[in-house]
Amino acid sequence: MFSSDYGLLSYLWDGLIQFLADGLTQATWWQAIIAALVMTHITIASVTIYLHRHSAHRSLDLHPIASHFFRFWLWMTTGMVTKEWTAIHRKHHAKCEHEGDPHSPVVFGIKKVFFEGSELYRAEAKNQETLARYGHNTPDDWIERNLYTGRSRLGVSLMLIIDVALFGALGLTVWAIQMAWIPITAAGIINGIGHWWGYRNFEAADASTNVSPWGIIIGGEELHNNHHTYPTSAKLSVKPYEFDIGWMYITILKTFGLASVKKLPPKMAFGAVKPVADEKTLEAIIANRYEVMAGYARELRVACQREVEALKSRSGDVSALEAARRWLHRDEDKVPAAVKPQLAQARAEHPVLDKMVTMREELRSLWTGTNATREQLAADLQAWCRRAEESGIAALRDFSIQLRSARA
């Protein structure tokens, strides 16, 4: 009898050890890592599609089936509450780069946001004023009140049990990867690096940057400057060479009736060139002002390159011009103080560039001014076009002619 009981216990013990070693799937370590990466990508897709584009910015509507899948998945893999995330992100846009921004590297420093971004999130999530002011139109149903909100540990604990059941001891590693993914990618990379380093398509009012033109690893959120320029757009890519995998998923959901897109980035239209820019031209330019200024920046960079080449052909010193080239097309408040003397020198030595920079600011005043009437702004636009076309600078003339063909 004792021998039989011992044999049974030994059998059960061996079975438990085998289960802990292999899990239900008996996956190898590399198969478990692949599964972890797939699951973290689903988490990223849930954040960008559901929390960011649907809940925070209302750029698309989701079918209840898709919406609740994302809510449930995020509860298990991150423990985040929809109202908290939405409110904090909306406050970030409302206070961007200023006091009150919950996670700006301009306010807190890149080191703190990159390494302690999740701590900043948790601290702001306790701010009831933030939740009350910015957390409107978020889920408030029975399951949200009685399960998701206030029971984040239950969700991530359930994920731990599932991971261990599927992969055995390797499930602990899978779970650790899942738990670290959002703090690293969203709280660190997007909230930190996305406001500190990268390229800019548009001169948005904040310091946002595109970390990469291929938004794959972080679901399209890499295109952060595009997002801050057009925050209510469901699509984050705007250039032909950019790719937003989140938008690809939204398109698939839309095909199956699980999503409906409400807004996309504006696209400037052109028609016949008008003899004189009018109020409709003004309307089109203001509506597409970021695209207009991006086009002007291209012309300014081309003109700057020509000046560099001409100076090199005369064996001149191009150091100041090379240093200034990166900043000539930027708003003055975005230019570092250390670069401004070189900018001033470049403008003093190159009248063409000085004229283009001056006229850039005059063009920008069409939408930054607050006191002028619509009729006055249209007259200012006409005067700007006239000066540009009489400047003797080919880039200015061609740009002005194109503006006169703009359509709303």
Whole-number pLDDT of residue 336: 87
The answer to whether the beta carbons of residues 168 and 28 sit under 8 Å apart is no
The answer to whether the beta carbons of residues 344 and 319 sit under 8 Å apart is no
Helices (H) and strands (E) in the chain, counts: 19, 6
Q: Which amino acid is at 134?
A: Y
Q: For strand 259-261 and strand 60-62, is the pairing parallel, antiparallel, or unpaired?
A: antiparallel
User: Comparing C-alpha atoms, which of 389, 353, 384 is closest to residue 369?
Assistant: 384
Whole-number pLDDT of residue 332: 87
Measured CA to CA, the distance from residue 81 to residue 62 in angstroms comes to: 17
Q: What is the dihedral of CA 78, 84, 90, 95, to 10 degrees?
A: -100
**Residue 225, Cβ neighbours under 10 Å: how many?**
25
**Which parts of the chain have pLDDT scores under 50?**
1-2
Same domain, 153 and 173: yes
Measured CA to CA, the distance from residue 201 to residue 363 in angstroms comes to: 18
Same domain, 12 and 53: yes
Q: 264: burial class by Cβ within 10 Å (0-12, 13-18, 19+)?
A: middle
Same domain, 60 and 178: yes
From residue 264, give the alpha-carbon distance in Å to each of 232, 267, 281: 8, 9, 21
Same domain, 321 and 352: yes
Same domain, 89 and 215: yes
Listed residues 237, 259, 281: the one ending a domain: 259
Same domain, 212 and 319: no
User: Comparing C-alpha atoms, which of 366, 383, 200, 203 is closest to residue 287?
Assistant: 366
Listed residues 238, 259, 280: the one ending a domain: 259
User: Comparing C-alpha atoms, which of 125, 102, 122 is closest to residue 191?
Assistant: 102
Q: Which domain holds residue 119?
A: 1-259
Same domain, 369 and 291: yes
Tokens for 58, please give them: 């209302």
Tokens 């009150």, residue located: 100
Query: If you ran DSSP here, which 8-state letter would residue 47 be given?
Result: I
Tokens 């409709």, residue located: 280
Same domain, 58 and 100: yes
Same domain, 226 and 285: no
Measured CA to CA, the distance from residue 200 to residue 51 in angstroms comes to: 24
User: Comparing C-alpha atoms, which of 288, 311, 281, 297 is closest to residue 381?
Assistant: 281
Whole-number pLDDT of residue 342: 87
Same domain, 190 and 283: no
Measured CA to CA, the distance from residue 398 to residue 388 in angstroms comes to: 9
Three-state DSSP class for residue 243? strand
Listed residues 204, 232, 259: the one ending a domain: 259
Strand ranges for 12-171 from DSSP E = 60-62
Measured CA to CA, the distance from residue 362 to residue 150 in angstroms comes to: 53
Total count of domains within the chain? 2
Beta bridge partners of 274: none
Same domain, 130 and 249: yes
Q: For strand 269-270 and strand 406-407, is the pairing parallel, antiparallel, or unpaired?
A: antiparallel
Same domain, 254 and 278: no
